[in-house]
Structure formats: C-alpha cells, structure tokens
Amino acid sequence: MTDRLYLDHNASSPARPETIAAMNEALKTGGNPTAPHGNGRAAHKFVADGREAVALAMGVCAQDVIFTGCGTESINAAIHSAVVAGCSPIYVSSLDHPASILAAEASGSDVRTIPALADGYVDLDWLADQLSGLSADQRPFVSIVAVNSETGVVQDIERATELSHAAGGIILVDAVQAMGKVPMTFIVDYLAVSAHKIGGPQGVGALYVDPEAPFTSLLHGGGQEKRRRAGTLNAAGIAGFGAAAKVADAGMDHLSDIRDAIEAGLKEMEPDLVIFGEGSNRIPNTSFFAVPDTASQTLMMALDLDGISVSTGTACSSGKVGASRAVTAMGLADKAPHGCIRL
C-alpha cells in the first residue's frame, strides 16, 4: 500500500528496511536461542546483539533488560511484581495507557488515580501531597506514562521519580511512545518499551528492571531470560527490534517544524480547531485535535478514502465510540463533542 500516506505511527510504525533485513537474516538460522548447537548459537547471537542495541537506546544496562511479547506484557509484569512485593498504594496516572490502569485495578490493591491538568501534564503537585501523607510502613508504587499516546505531551519523569523515591517507593515509566522521540535518561525502577512503535516488528517488547527492584515472573515454564520470563525467545523479532533501536531517532529533528506547519494550515482552514496539548512540551511527530462541529469518524473515513491513514486516538481503544481518554482526563471533553483526530 505504498500509494497511501500513513500518519498513524503512534499506533504502529511500519517496519524499517533495517528491521526487515535483520529479521530476514535471523529467520535463516532456524535455531532456538537456548540450543547448544551451531544454529542455536547463531540465534543466540541475534538475541544478544539485539539486547545490547535495545538497552543502549533505553539508556540502561543490557543485563537488566527482559524481552517480552509487547509493551502491555512489560507493564503488567512490572505492576505484578510491585503488588507481589507488597507495594501500596498503587498510583496510576489518568493519562496512562489502559494496560497500566487495568492491570492496577485487576490487582485488587489500593489504587489511586493521579489527575491530569488541562495542559496535558500529570498533576505532580497532587502526587506530592499524596505521598507526603503516607505512613512510614507504606511503600508506594507509581506508574507514569512518559508520553501520552494521544496528545504527545511529555511528562516530567525526573520529578515524578524524585517524588516516588523520596517517599520510599518505586516507579514504572511507560516509555512506549517516548523511545526514539525523547532522550532516554530515566533513572527509574521499571522501564517499558515496545518494538513496533519505532519501526520494529509487532509482538516484541522489553522491560528494564533495576537490580534493586522487586521482580516476580508472570510466566512460568523454561528458564529463559534468567528465569524472569519463560518462553522461547523471538530471535528474529529481537533482531528486528535491535536494528530499529539503532536508528529510532533518525529524522526526528525536523518533524516538529512539519507538525507546526500542518497545525497552522489546519487553523487557517478551521479557525475553531482545538489542538490538545498545544503549548506544552510534545514529541515532534504528534498532533491531536478536534473540529467542534464535525464528527471525527467522518473525517477519518473521508481521509481514508483519499488514501490518508489517521486515527481517532489510542489504537487499543479507537474502535470504541466515546470521548478521548486523555481529553476527558484533562477536563476538556466539551471541546471535542464529536471526537478527535490524531496525526
């Protein structure tokens, strides 16, 4: 479908040429990465090289990276580990991906939701007040999304981490939308990423676990990943992830100028256009807006017929009719009565 204009990279970014080439090479080996023979050793090298590349892009040590099946699994594994370790309360941001929110709710723990501000930022002053009121025997767990997938607003992870650690707690940062778009300099306890958001293959994720952070396996079986995540490793997928990680930030420098020009043009055509997170620190490739008098589904279908692929929000939820989670959390649902469009 090369004749189409694809503007839905926050949902999934098409595989890069480097990804496809690396996966093709790995698929030719035909070995299990844990097997001792030549084919197995060849497959293991693809995994080891992929781990080094992904860890470098994450800004962490390779030995602390666990490969998973997706970002959702990475997030669930971190929350599961924190709950098993007795962390409570569990704080999740109202701007978090549903994977974080629903995993926390399913844990049966004391879950508290960090509100969002109208500019698209998480209310860290609220979190600070909450954490200061905890007793000495409470060990809080905080989940923060580094970049909201709808608005593209970049959160203050440094301050969130400082608040969490000062309260004796641990923090998970969902960096699925951040990888390749913002500097990965997070000093956190858990860091979740996903390959297909940076032009890697679908079906591969990774989780960084700080050596001092608690970890309890979600999956039980073989001894893969130092017994932290059972199941045969996806050597080809990991090779593709590593290849994509090496070039994840390529071409990002000029994207904010393109986005700003698109937004300026849209405002000329539609003066009542509302851009969510405008004026806030956003990743360069994202624009999330509403045309007050036009249904987003109508706009999306019209663009689709013209060969332009856009979305109405988070891919995991965009098939559902209703207001944007992010816009609702920001208290701006009245600004988008007919939905939003994300480029």
Catalytic residues: 316
Q: What CA–CA distance (Å, rounded) separates 170 from 167?
A: 9
Q: Are 205 and 67 in contact (CB under 8 A)?
A: yes
Q: What CA–CA distance (Å, rounded) separates 283 from 198?
A: 13
Residues near 67 by beta carbon (within 8 Å), at least 6 away in sequence: 47, 50, 51, 204, 205, 206, 225, 229, 233, 234, 238, 241
Residues near 171 by beta carbon (within 8 Å), at least 6 away in sequence: 141, 142, 143, 144, 160, 161, 164, 165, 188, 189, 190
Q: What CA–CA distance (Å, rounded) separates 166 from 155?
A: 19
DSSP symbols for 257-274? HHHHHHHHHHHHH-TT-E
DSSP letter (8 states) at residue 283: -
Helices (H), 28-156: 38-58, 71-84, 98-106, 124-132
Q: Are 144 and 172 in contact (CB under 8 A)?
A: yes
Q: What CA–CA distance (Å, rounded) separates 96 from 255?
A: 24
Q: What CA–CA distance (Å, rounded) separates 125 from 189?
A: 21
